[in-house]
Amino acid sequence: MRTVIAILTFSAATACLLASQVQAADNLSFKGILVAQACTIRSGDELIAVAFSDISISSLYLNTRTPGEPFYIHLQDCDTQIADSVTVTFSGAENAELPGLLALATGSAARGIAIGLETATDQPLPLNVTSPEQALSDGDNAIALKAYVRGEPTAIANESIRKGRFVANSTFTLIYP
């Protein structure tokens, strides 16, 4: 696994002043590890916005979720001599009723829903769980994913999903095993 570690160490030292003499001591140390990155994230993919079209509440009551909305993480300049695969982990606030799905951000008007993530082949990708490895090829690659809206079971049973705009935020971490 490729890990970047940078350590900045400050040591406490006292400068002694004796009869106008100053003594110097080695009291600052910098340590680190330089690594080569297997790929770079395409400029603009550091912040990916997935926009859902209008979602019918009655459709959520009937189907419990929407179809997946595709999105991609584009990787450039991949070097398979450094790493030949990548995994992705999404983190964020989990929905209390639907563990593994993303809770809506504060300020969202909609209620009773959560955001789910899945692979391009419809395999669930829960929050804080590492995805299956995806093979890399030299050059440019794309990690294909999907996001969907799912109704909370209680909100579906009580028909209490509330309409309105919503936002949910997640952070993704790429790991090159």
User: Distance between terminal CA atoms of the chain?
Assistant: 4
Instruction: Give me the residues paired with residue 58 across strands.
Output: none
- The Cα–Cα gap between 11 and 156 comes to 59
Domains of the chain listed by start with CATH number: 40-175 (2.60.40.1090)
Please spell the DSSP secondary structure of 110-176, one letter per residue.
-BSEEEEEEETTS-B--TTSPPPPEE--SEEEEEEEEEEEEE-HHHHHTT--B-S------EEEEE-
pLDDT of residue 19: 44
Sign of CA dihedral 22, 25, 27, 32: positive
Tell me, what amino acid is at 174?
L
> 73, 139 in Cβ contact below 8 A?
no
Reported as half-sphere exposure (CB side, CA atoms, 13 A), residue 143 has a value of 30
Q: Which residues does 104 contact at the CB level (< 8 Å), separation at least 6?
A: 95, 110, 111, 113, 114, 115, 166, 167, 168
pTM of the model: 0.80
Phi, psi of 154 (to 5 degrees): -65, -45
pLDDT of residue 33: 80
pLDDT of residue 28: 78
Mean pLDDT by 10 residues, the chain (177 residues): 32 38 66 85 90 94 96 96 95 97 96 97 95 96 97 98 95 92
pLDDT of residue 29: 75
